[in-house]
Amino acid sequence: MALEKHRNILDYTLQSLLKRKLKNIGIIMVFTLVIFTASSVIFLSYSLRQEARLLLKDSPEIIVQKMRAGRHELISTLIMTEIGQIPGVSGVEPRYWGYYYDSGVKANYTILGIGASGTEKNRVLSGRMPSRHEKNIAAIGRGIAEARVIKKDLGSVLYLQAADGKWMNFNITGVFESDSEIMTADLIVISEDDFKTLVGMPDDAATDLAVHVSNEAETPTIAKKIKERFPDSRPILRDEIIRTYDAVFGWRSGLIIALFMGALIAFIILAWDKATGLSAEEKQEIGILKAIGWETSDVLEMKFWEGLVISLASFMCGIILAYIHIFFTGASLLAPALKGWSVIYPEFRLTPFIDFYQIAILMSLTIVPYIASTIIPSWKASITDPDTVMRG
């Protein structure tokens, strides 16, 4: 019997919502836009952070760079042996990487030289990577192929100008697939030897050193020891990089939220408008319902369902659209603001990571106030004598 009562009231609520189709569709559209925007930002920034964390999971615990006058400089590989002798260090290897500005397309590329360990192997590569000493071979990201208008087919040739002014040509033996574009869109992988020739790097130098430690808890101590032994070095901990990523994406999320403050304000005005009064028609309807035998609690239940149906429908629409936008269309609307500053924007598909805690907060900050703004004015009308409400 009690269940039938709620079903009947819900049934009437749905009919009541359909009566004011246009108004309710308008509310749902504004509400959906707000949820879509906020949840898109949440999905994207959280996924990027998670991607970054996953990416960094396999990265070395410490990266050692050489600093001169506060500026990053090439580091000597001769100190590798000494670092390797520090207790707790399980391995040290040189890394070769740098940026290449292509004035033709006004884009920065990331160039990586394949070292001895070959850890840069990527399982989302179509074709193959160059080996450590292989000359004039490259694996490239799709973004580079598009920027340079070269065929993505294996066997095409990429030309880069070396430090000595001569042009170097690279046969493309591998292209990174789109699933990895967050990491590889602007990436060119060549051999260690070619890298050194391209950037004019001495044989005993590297861009930085990757230091692996046996016990992660000892990382800060080892970093401290490296700094003591090599005062001109800068050991960077993996955790520091993760924190930097978090801060960067957190800041950018805030920026997007600020840009969409207009939509949020529209929503607040809408909620405020609802909370401050009922239309004459709505008041009269409450008066009629009370006069024919509905209790205050019945009217409030109806208004609760009304608020819940509209806010939940909008919330679900907003969340689903945001999910499609972020994880199926590569965040096409937000990407330029959130993904970076490169000319070559990666067109990647993010792995769907959802922060349910943030979604729950968003839910409580939108659905709950909306339901409250629907119920409060109705409560005022429904505790008044039906005769007074119907007289207006």
Partner 1 sequence: MIKTENVTKYFNRGKPDEVLAVNDATIEIKKGDFAVFKGPSGSGKTTLLSLIGCMSRPTSGRVIVGDRDVSRLPERFMTEVRRNIFGFIFQQFHLIKGITVCDNVMLPLYPVGIKPSKLRESAALILNNLGMSKRIDFPVQRLSGGEQQRTAIARALINNPDVILADEPTAHLDTQISEEFLTIMRNLQQQGKTIVIATHDPLVYEKDYVNLIIEMRDGRVREIMKN
Nearest distance, CB of residue 374 and partner 1, angstroms = 18
Is 11 a binder of partner 1 (CB under 8 A)? yes
Nearest distance, CB of residue 5 and partner 1, angstroms = 4
Contacting partner 1 within 345-384 (CB under 8 A):
383
Per the CB < 8 A criterion, the answer to whether 115 and 132 are in contact is yes
Is 19 a binder of partner 1 (CB under 8 A)? yes
How far, in Å, CA of 315 to CA of 369, rounded? 13
Is 388 a binder of partner 1 (CB under 8 A)? yes
Cβ proximity to partner 1: between 14 and 368 the closer is 14
Is 23 a binder of partner 1 (CB under 8 A)? no
Q: Helices (DSSP H) in 134-260: which residue ranges?
A: 142-147, 181-184, 192-199, 219-229, 238-259
The piece of 1-9, 189-197, 244-252, 350-358 that touches partner 1 (CB under 8 A) is 1-9
Nearest distance, CB of residue 31 and partner 1, angstroms = 22
Is 386 a binder of partner 1 (CB under 8 A)? yes
- DSSP sequence for 308-321: HHHHHHHHHHHHHH
* Interface mask toward partner 1 for 36-75; x: CB under 8 A: ----------------------------------------
Nearest distance, CB of residue 387 and partner 1, angstroms = 4
List 15, 78, 231, 280, residue binding partner 1 (CB under 8 A): 15
The piece of 12-20, 151-159, 207-215, 307-315 that touches partner 1 (CB under 8 A) is 12-20
Is 8 a binder of partner 1 (CB under 8 A)? yes
Is 390 a binder of partner 1 (CB under 8 A)? yes
Is 25 a binder of partner 1 (CB under 8 A)? no
Cβ proximity to partner 1: between 1 and 78 the closer is 1
| Residues sharing a CB contact under 8 Å with residue 13, sequence separation 6 or more, in sequence order | 302, 305, 306, 309
Cβ proximity to partner 1: between 8 and 244 the closer is 8
Is 4 a binder of partner 1 (CB under 8 A)? yes
Cβ proximity to partner 1: between 8 and 329 the closer is 8
Cβ proximity to partner 1: between 217 and 292 the closer is 292
Helix/strand/coil (H/E/C) assignment for every residue in 54-70: HHHHCCCCEEEEEEECC
Record the tokens describing residue 288, joined without a space: 């009629």
Is 24 a binder of partner 1 (CB under 8 A)? no
How far, in Å, CA of 297 to CA of 176, rounded? 62
Produce one character per residue of 231-245: b if its CB has 16 or more CB atoms within 10 Å, e if not: eebbbbbbeebbeeb
* Interface mask toward partner 1 for 279-308; x: CB under 8 A: -----xx--xxxxxxxxx-x----------
Cα→Cα distances 108→147, 188, 204, 217, 338, Å: 10, 11, 26, 36, 18
How far, in Å, CA of 328 to CA of 26, rounded? 27
Q: H or E element: which one contains 12? A: helix 2-19
Is 12 a binder of partner 1 (CB under 8 A)? yes
Using DSSP's 3-state secondary structure scheme, residue 226 falls into helix
Nearest distance, CB of residue 291 and partner 1, angstroms = 6
How far, in Å, CA of 232 to CA of 238, rounded? 20
Cβ proximity to partner 1: between 23 and 243 the closer is 23
Cβ proximity to partner 1: between 6 and 72 the closer is 6
Is 204 a binder of partner 1 (CB under 8 A)? no
Which residue from 83, 50, 72, 74 is spatially nearest to 212, judged by alpha carbons?
Answer: 83
Q: 321-327 long-range contacts, Cβ below 8 Å, gap at least 24? A: 321/32, 321/36, 322/35, 322/36, 322/37, 322/39, 322/40, 322/42, 322/43, 323/39, 323/43, 323/352, 325/36, 325/40, 326/40, 326/43, 326/44, 326/47, 326/350, 326/352, 327/43, 327/47, 327/352
Contacting partner 1 within 246-285 (CB under 8 A):
284-285
Binding site for partner 1 (CB under 8 A): 1-5, 7-9, 11-12, 15-16, 18-20, 284-285, 288-296, 298, 383, 385-388, 390
